[in-house]
A and B are shown apart, each in its own frame.
Chain A
Amino acid sequence: MTDTPSDPTTPPASNPHTLNLGFLTIVQDGSGVFGGYLVTNSWGRPLEFRLTTAVQPNRVQQILYGPTLTEYLHAELIGKTLVEKTSVAPSLIITDSLPALGLRDRLQIPVVAVRIGATDDGPEILQLTHPRSSVMLAYLAKYPDDKAAIDERLDRIDSAVDLAEPFARIREAVAEARKMGVTSRAA
């Protein structure tokens, strides 16, 4: 049985039996911005899934938050909330949103973003490759030690796993949950 630590932001990396991956996707549509979060074991099996209601910043909020709005929404409001509310702790968080890399400032867990194509994301972002991902990975340059931690965790994942793959599942599950009225219920 997978351990369920009391503090989900504390990765159980010391336990070789527990290497869980947290996949965070941020979706924007007509209803606003919302997130889906899937925790899997080291070979991609789902352990826990959580999603948020949509948030639609008003004009004043857009002005007041200014350029920090996107990171606030992706990393703080949606990402951190999802990780903290989820009982299964991840050893590594993978996201398809570059602004959600800011989650790393808020949690003691390495965070990587999957990047399609060789995009130059600026000096704040470093890129890396790994056999467990069919696409480029990115992480925050201000956490240089994370690279070793990310590599160490990815090396322990089953070779059948591709970090870019679960996002299709999550989006489909989000669509299914919304179709069944889950998000309106949560709201």
Chain B
Amino acid sequence: MRLEELDEPFVVESVSLAEYPDALRFPRFEAPLSAGVRESRLLTQAPWVRSLGKLDMTVQTEGWKFPAPPPELDRPPRPMTEKAEPKLTEPTLPDRARPDATEKKRIRTRPTSDMVLTKDRLLFLLQPPLDGLFLGKQLEVPFEPFPYQLEGIAFLMPRHSALLADEMGLGKTAQAILALRLMFHQGLVKSVLIVTPKPLVHNWCRELKLWAPDLPHEVFPQDPDLRRSAWKVSNCPVKLINYEALTRDADMASDPSIYFDVVVLDEAQRIKNKDAKTAQAVRSLHRSRSWALTGTPIENHADDLVNIFAFVDPGRVPSDTPPKRIAQLTSDCILRRTKDDVQSDMPPKILRDLEVELTPAQRYAYDRAENDGIVQLNELGDTISVQHVFHLVMRLKQICNFDPLTGESAKLEQLMTDMEEVASSGRKAIIFSQWVEPLLVLAKALDGFGTLQYHGRIPQAERTPILDRFKADPDKHLLLMSYGSGSVGLNLQFTNYVFLFDRWWNPAVEDQAINRAHRIGQRFPVTVTRFQAEGTIEGRIAGILEAKRKVFNDLLSQADKPANLGLTEDEVFGLFDIKARPKRAG
């Protein structure tokens, strides 16, 4: 019962013990209390008391500071002018349960297998993905590179030794420039030397302006004194020099005080002869990174590749390395894609092998020249040399082009018909020949199609304006080129027809020529017509070379064994039914 529930108030009264005599009286406790020493350890010592351990927590850190962009490239971000709605429905943050779900789609740099420093490995792992990077405002580009080109950039950036061996026309120059540009922006490189064939210097300048407008560049001047200044004094971040000038300046090139963060070797097949002065000058350059660009790393023999690697990574491939081992040693440093690999990004290339029947005058001249030639070769006995046979081959090929007496040409007749179609459709064509003379004849015969010429007899200073005119003038439908002058580096992707009036000895050179037109930027199919005079030496040579063309790609894909891609001596002799053979020592 609770107090408030009582009927009457609850009163507490005091009670006197005197009224209760029977109550017990307790004795008064007077002894003092004292604690013994033994009792004092009860609560303060083990095992009753244990330490709580450290209550505070600490962590240690380790960090890496990466190179910062140079001030001139570290521009403030440009203000945003418009705001797009965020895509909140499709998050791209990697799902922790499936960490690779998003990463597989990104194209990123990766450390190489031989990169040993943690800082270097982290630097390339921490680079932003390349896909989408060029969509931003910081890096202006004329158009976003293709995915395979981004992979090429991701291949080049972390590598000190690299051979970019993409098939011609896939944009090796642009890939190299963009890789350099990103490395400049990251502060990884400060000085670059680009070595290129003389006719391509202008092309490189144009590409640099296009793909890296924020990178200043300079071309080594012709004057020796000015060139010395360019070597010794100039601090321009990107310098361009042609092979010939570099060879002349070999002393300065090998000066240890002159150092480049990257040396880029364009058309690197130029150093396939390791003893040539050019190759020696290139190898003597003091550098940190060595990048080689070529669509034809093996023009004739596997040694071509070995000698390019003498620059790319000296010592990696000893000169006596068996061919089978070369692919193993070099695979980590080589990236090669063919147009087939990136077919979806390129319009098709249509190959048309056009067999023409020689005119009666040509046939007569040809048969007589071949028969007489064979007789003469056999009469040479063991004094015969491969040069004698070559002489006959050249003579016959020229007859296949034009009859020496009448000037008749079955190829030209067909060409006239084809060019009518090309011109009427408003498109442009290139005709390649091994010699300048046929080009001069063709220039007259095809003058009505707005014909321009680009070959060894055209002064260097006039060549670039000719290309510009061919591109810009809608009435100029035809460009006549020699393989030697026009087969490398030029960008003629506004051309949709290529005619090989006669065939070159090496399929790699023909490919170079064809790919002036069939390259990145081409928007339409490219038709390649390879003329071949029926029943002549041309057909026999084409058969041998076609069989060898396959070997070129086989080596780079680590197939069996490399071979000579040009004609061997036995193959040259085998072109004719001749019994004579040169006398061999021993």
Contact = CB atoms under 8 A, between A and B. Distances in A.
A148 interface: no
Contact of A165 (B52, B128, B135): B128
Interface string B64-96: 111011110011110110011111101111100
A49 B132 contact: no
A86 B138 CA distance: 25
Contacts of B40: none
B64 A49 contact: yes
A156 B84 contact: no
A137 B99 CA distance: 21
Interface of B: 52-53, 55, 57-66, 68-71, 74-77, 79-80, 83-88, 90-94, 99, 102-103, 106, 108, 111, 118, 121-123, 125-129, 132-139, 185-186
Contacts of A61: 55, 57
Contacts of A101: none
Contacts of B83: 130-131
Contact of A60 (B52, B88, B99): B52
A131 B74 CA distance: 23
19 contacts: A45-B186, A49-B63, A49-B122, A55-B58, A88-B65, A118-B88, A129-B85, A129-B86, A129-B88, A130-B83, A131-B83, A135-B91, A136-B88, A155-B80, A160-B132, A164-B93, A177-B62, A186-B61, A186-B62
Given A1-B71, A117-B91, 11 more contacts: A17-B74, A41-B69, A50-B63, A60-B55, A116-B91, A118-B88, A159-B136, A159-B137, A165-B128, A176-B111, A185-B62
Interface residues of A, number: 76
A58 B54 CA distance: 9
B61, B94, B129 pick with most chain A CB within 10 angstroms: B61
B66 A47 contact: yes
B136 A43 contact: yes
Complex A-B, nearest 4 residue pairs according to Cβ-Cβ distance, in ascending order: A160-B136, A50-B63, A44-B128, A46-B126
Contact of B77 (A96, A157, A164): A157
Given A47-B66, A156-B76, A164 B92 contact: yes
Interface stretch (A73-81, A104-112, A139-147): A73-81
Contacts of A1: 68-71, 74
B59 A78 contact: yes
B68 A2 contact: yes
A165 B128 CA distance: 8
B92 A167 contact: no
A77 B57 CA distance: 8
B103 A168 contact: yes
B125 A176 contact: yes
A102 interface: no
Contacts of B137: 158-160
A130 B185 CA distance: 26
A133 B88 CA distance: 9
A123 interface: no
A176 B126 CA distance: 11
A169 B125 contact: yes
Given A129-B86, A136-B88, A177-B118, A52 B74 contact: no
Contacts of A70: none
A159 B122 CA distance: 24
A172 interface: yes
A122 interface: no
Nearest to A27: B96
Interface string A21-60: 0000000000000110010111111111111111101101
Contact of A156 (B77, B92, B93, B135): B77
Contacts of B92: 134-135, 162, 164-165
B122 A77 contact: no
B53 A60 contact: yes
A90 B57 CA distance: 25
